[in-house]
């Protein structure tokens, strides 16, 4: 069994207020104005969370100051809010994993605006994840799926738990003043602050494989690489040989005698001419390597074409790199430029390259994200400090900011990656050793040794 509380849909906006009270079962609403309201829209009458607040559907917009709606359930007073809401119901779903196939659970449920959330009891769901989609009964429009909610509950390092703890301690109990999106942005700032102190945290270690293609020099870096300096090692799987890093300037110096150009239009296996940027560094005839094809022969050239071409097996798109086949060999060096890793010499065959690196702390995109930072309290304190600061409570903000910075500094010192331990004897031991040596010396002198 899973009991889930869903927040109300985004898109709520204050439309107007009642200018006269309306009794239960009433259908005429006198309001200040009907701007931006239309027939078939759904509206909330009353403050969200009030026990008499409800959603009703507009039947007609009678004038600039009057609406006809479906019959209201409760009496409402003059000056009560009238708020547009894009949906009036929600549908629950479940899945075994976050990205798994979603199965609908039960029928559509009314959005409960008389509470701050819509609570649902999914009695048939006991594991996995649950989701919700909001639904408009008239237009049949549906929202996207909500973030995944684990049936077993959120862990302490999940953003949901972190945000809830920050709200609880600052008494920001609803999203009316500070939305989850606002808090997520602050959590991202906290993540950036942690990475500013140190990028290569031990808890961000990762490893990936690159499959090298003969004749291809450039490969994309891992998408979550924390920075160029965050690559720990690059190994060639052929003989488990570690490649050497060279600066981009030194890399280009190595490449100075290696002809290279790029094709300027797509080619296929039927192509007999290859249009390129420049052929002046190439011989008048020879054999080329282009993205996996290492036996592309040509017989003549112009300044911008290879002609009499044969041996193309694959299709290649404009921008593909062109090299001389004879320059291919087993890679020994690599460099980083822009978002790419480049190897020298070019691979002469298939190789698997293992890259050990440090990744970025996962970005705070939704509340289901679980941070890899071992101390989620860092995020809680940072959020609390920022919320207090936004509310003008400087003293409280400074208190929690100090807790955050102190803990982060201690955390940095305790992190074991590349930690250097200096063994130093205690002063009492040093004094004892000196006294012992003095005693032996005195005894020897006494014996005439």
The pTM of this model reads 0.62
| Residue 362: per-residue pLDDT | 82
For the segment 149-177, the average pLDDT, to the nearest whole number, is: 79
pLDDT of residue 168: 83
Residue 45's H or E segment, with its range, is strand 42-45
Q: Which of 145-149, 370-374, 404-408 has the highest mean pLDDT?
A: 404-408
Give the span between the Cα atoms of 158 and 281, in whole angstroms: 56
Q: Which residue has the tokens 């080619």?
A: 267
- Of 326, 314, 348, the closest CA to residue 282 belongs to 326
Model confidence band, residue 427 (pLDDT cutoffs 50, 70, 90): very low
pLDDT of 115 above 70:
yes
Show Cβ contacts of residue 348 under 8 Å, excluding neighbours closer than 6 positions.
Answer: 214, 294, 328, 329, 330
Residue 134's alpha-carbon distances to 22, 88, 109, in angstroms, are 28, 7, 9
Tell me which H or E stretch contains 90. Answer: strand 89-95
pLDDT number for residue 172: 72
Q: What is the pLDDT of residue 332?
A: 94
pLDDT exceeds cutoff 50 at 21 = yes
**Helix, strand, coil in percent for the chain, rounding step 5:** 25, 35, 45
Q: Tokens for 27, please give them.
A: 């259908």
Mean pLDDT of the chain: 88
Segments in 177-254 forming alpha helices (H): 180-197, 248-254
pLDDT at 297 over 70: yes
For residue 7, pLDDT beyond 80? yes
Q: Which residue has the tokens 């940095």?
A: 412
- Check residue 15 and give its pLDDT: 82
Average pLDDT over residues 38-64: 94
pLDDT at residue 421 in the model: 39
The answer, yes or no, to whether residue 416 has pLDDT greater than 90, is: no
Per mean pLDDT, which range of 2-16, 179-193, 352-366 is the poorest?
Answer: 2-16
Where do the H-state alpha helices sit in 55-212? 159-170, 180-197
The backbone torsions φ and ψ at residue 228, rounded to the nearest 5 degrees and listed phi first, read -55, -40
Q: Check whether 433 has a pLDDT greater than 60.
A: no
Residues 224 and 361: beta-carbon distance below 8 Å: no
- Tell me if 205 sits within 8 A of 356, measured CB to CB: yes
* 333-337/244-245 β-pairing: parallel
Q: What is the pLDDT of residue 437?
A: 53
Rg (CA), the chain: 34
Q: What is the pLDDT of residue 149?
A: 86
- Complete edge-to-edge strand list for the sheet that includes strand 13-17: 13-17, 81-85, 42-45, 54-63, 66-69, 28-30
Count Cβ atoms within 10 A of the Cβ of residue 408 and give its class: 0-12 exposed, 13-18 middle, 19 or more buried: buried
Distance between CA atoms of residues 236 and 212, nearest Å = 10
pLDDT of the residue at 354: 94
Higher pLDDT, 428 or 238: 238
Max mean pLDDT range (97-101, 130-134, 176-180): 130-134
Instruction: Label residue 28 by pLDDT band (50, 70, 90).
Output: very high
DSSP codes of every residue in 373-418: -S-THHHHHHHHHHHHHHTT-HHHHHHHHHHHHHHHHHHHHH--TT
91 in Cβ contact with 133 (< 8 Å): yes
pLDDT band at residue 445 under the 50/70/90 scheme: low
Tokens 């639904």 identify what position?
135
Q: Is the pLDDT of residue 188 over 80?
A: yes
Domain boundaries, given as residue ranges, for the chain: 1-152, 154-201+361-422, 205-358
What does the pLDDT read at residue 137? 96
- The span from the CA of 161 to the CA of 153, in Å, is 9
3-state secondary structure of 255: helix
* Confidence band for 422, pLDDT divided at 50, 70 and 90: very low
Whether the pLDDT of residue 78 is over 50: the answer is: yes
Say whether pLDDT at 222 is over 60: yes
pLDDT-derived band at 425 (thresholds 50, 70, 90) equals very low
246 vs 164: which has the higher pLDDT:
246
pLDDT digits (tens, 9 = 90+) for 261-290: 999 999 999 999 999 999 999 999 999 999
Q: How confident is the model at residue 171 (pLDDT cuts 50, 70, 90)?
A: confident
Continuous segment of H or E residues that includes residue 439: helix 427-447
Contact indicator for 182, 176 with CB cutoff of 8 Å: no
pLDDT score recorded for residue 112: 94
Answer whether residue 448 shows pLDDT above 70.
no
CA 91/CA 93 separation, integer angstroms: 7
pLDDT of 138 > 90? The answer is yes
Proportion of the chain above pLDDT 70, given as a percent: 91
Q: Which residues of 193-228 are buried (b: 16+ CB within 10 A; e: fewer)?
A: ebbeebbbbeebebeeebebbbbbbebebbebbbeb
For residue 434, is pLDDT > 80? no
With 60 as the cut, is the pLDDT of residue 439 above it?
A: no
How far, rounded to the nearest angstrom, does the alpha carbon of residue 130 sit from its chain's CA centroid?
A: 21
pLDDT tens readout for residues 118-130? 989 888 888 899 9
Q: Identify whether the C-beta of residue 381 lies closer than 8 Å to the C-beta of residue 407.
A: yes
- Please give the pLDDT value at position 424: 46
Element spanning 429, H or E: helix 427-447
Both structure tokens of 116: 């701050």
């Amino acid at each position: 069994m899973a009991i889930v509380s869903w927040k109300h849909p985004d898109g709520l906006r204050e439309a107007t207020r009642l200018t006269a009270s309306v009794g239960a079962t009433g259908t005429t609403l006198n309001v200040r104005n009907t701007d931006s309201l239309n027939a078939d829209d759904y509206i909330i009458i009353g403050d969200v969370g009030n026990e008499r607040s409800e959603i009703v559907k507009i039947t007609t917009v009678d004038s600039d100051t009057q609406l006809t709606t479906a019959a209201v359930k409760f009496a409402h007073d003059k000056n009560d809010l009238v708020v547009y809401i894009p949906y009036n119901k929600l549908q629950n779903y479940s899945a075994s994993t976050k990205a798994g196939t979603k199965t609908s659970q039960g029928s559509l449920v009314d959005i409960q605006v008389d509470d701050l959330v819509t609570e649902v009891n999914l009695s048939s769901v006991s594991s996995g994840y649950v989701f919700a989609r909001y639904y408009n009964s008239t237009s049949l429009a549906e929202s996207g799926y909500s973030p995944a909610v684990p049936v077993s509950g959120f862990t302490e390092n999940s953003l949901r738990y972190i945000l809830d703890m920050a709200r609880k301690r600052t008494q920001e109990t609803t999203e009316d003043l500070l939305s989850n999106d606002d808090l997520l942005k602050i959590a991202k700032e906290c993540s950036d602050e942690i990475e500013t102190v140190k990028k290569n945290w031990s808890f961000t270690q990762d490893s990936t494989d690159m499959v090298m293609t003969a004749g291809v020099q450039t490969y994309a870096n891992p998408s979550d690489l924390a920075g160029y300096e965050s690559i720990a090692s690059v190994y060639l799987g052929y003989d488990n040989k570690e490649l050497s890093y060279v600066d981009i300037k030194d890399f280009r110096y190595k490449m100075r005698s290696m002809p290279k150009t790029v094709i300027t239009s797509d080619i296929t296996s039927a192509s007999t001419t290859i249009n390129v940027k420049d052929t002046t560094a190439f011989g008048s005839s020879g054999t080329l390597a282009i993205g996996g094809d290492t036996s592309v022969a040509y017989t003549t050239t112009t300044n911008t074409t290879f002609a009499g071409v044969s041996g193309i097996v694959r299709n290649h798109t404009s921008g593909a790199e062109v090299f001389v086949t004879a320059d291919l060999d087993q890679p020994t060096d690599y460099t980083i430029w822009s978002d790419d890793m480049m190897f020298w010499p070019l691979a002469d065959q298939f190789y698997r390259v293992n890259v050990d690196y440090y990744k970025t702390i996962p970005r705070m995109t939704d509340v289901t994200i679980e941070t890899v930072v071992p101390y989620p309290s860092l995020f809680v304190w940072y959020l609390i400090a920022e919320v207090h600061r936004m509310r003008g409570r400087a003293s409280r903000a400074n208190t929690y900011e100090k807790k955050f910075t102190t803990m982060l500094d201690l955390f940095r010192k305790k992190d074991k990656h590349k930690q250097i331990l200096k063994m130093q004897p205690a002063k009492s031991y040093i004094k004892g050793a000196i006294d012992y040596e003095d005693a032996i010396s005195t005894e020897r002198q006494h014996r005439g040794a």
